[in-house]
Amino acid sequence: MKILIVDDSKAMRMIVMRHLRQAGFGHHALDEAGNGVEALASVTASRPDLILCDWNMPEMNGLEFLTSLRARSVDVPFGFVTTESSPEMRATATSAGAAFLIAKPFTVEMFQTALAPYLN
């Protein structure tokens, strides 16, 4: 399977990839994008099976990216990895079509729990 990691911080993308490996998902193909615009192009080009996306990003934020995907009838499983973890933000994410939300700072166990239904 192919996982697209979207975050404007390269350091955070590295940490997410490390957590994926430590969670036992390192055998999946990993791709990166730095914002929603880049991620939309990546989705069109490579059709990921799962998207892990930050919320606050320049150019196009995570919520706008998710909304754009659903408007184009792209129903790939989508999870936020973000500091935006209030009940209101979680409700907004769910309403927009997100499958889960992992709050920063996160643990390997949080990745295992959230991603297992989509990767195992």
Partner 1 sequence: MRIETETLEQVVTEVLATMTGVVASPVCDARASTVRRSVAACIHLTGAYTGAVVITMPEELGRRIAASMFAADPSALSDGEVMDAVGEIANMVAGSVRSALPMPNAISLPSVSEGTGLRMDVPGSVAVATTAFVVDGDIFDVVLSARAGEA
Of 4 and 81, nearer to partner 1 (C-beta) is: 81
Cis peptide bond prior to 48, omega within 30° of 0: no
Of 70 and 104, nearer to partner 1 (C-beta) is: 104
HSE-CB at 52 with a 13 A cutoff on CA atoms is: 24
- Point out which residues bind partner 1 (CB under 8 A): 8-12, 14-15, 18, 56-58, 82-86, 88, 104-107
CB of 14 to partner 1, least distance (A): 5
Of 58 and 117, nearer to partner 1 (C-beta) is: 58
CB of 51 to partner 1, least distance (A): 20
CB of 111 to partner 1, least distance (A): 13
With beta carbons less than 8 A apart as the criterion, state whether 51 and 30 touch.
Answer: no
CB of 43 to partner 1, least distance (A): 23
Buried b (16+ CB within 10 A) or exposed e, 29-41: ebbbbbbbbbbbe
Of 10 and 47, nearer to partner 1 (C-beta) is: 10
Q: Which residues contact 9 (CB under 8 A, 6 or more apart)?
A: 54
With beta carbons less than 8 A apart as the criterion, state whether 81 and 16 touch.
Answer: yes
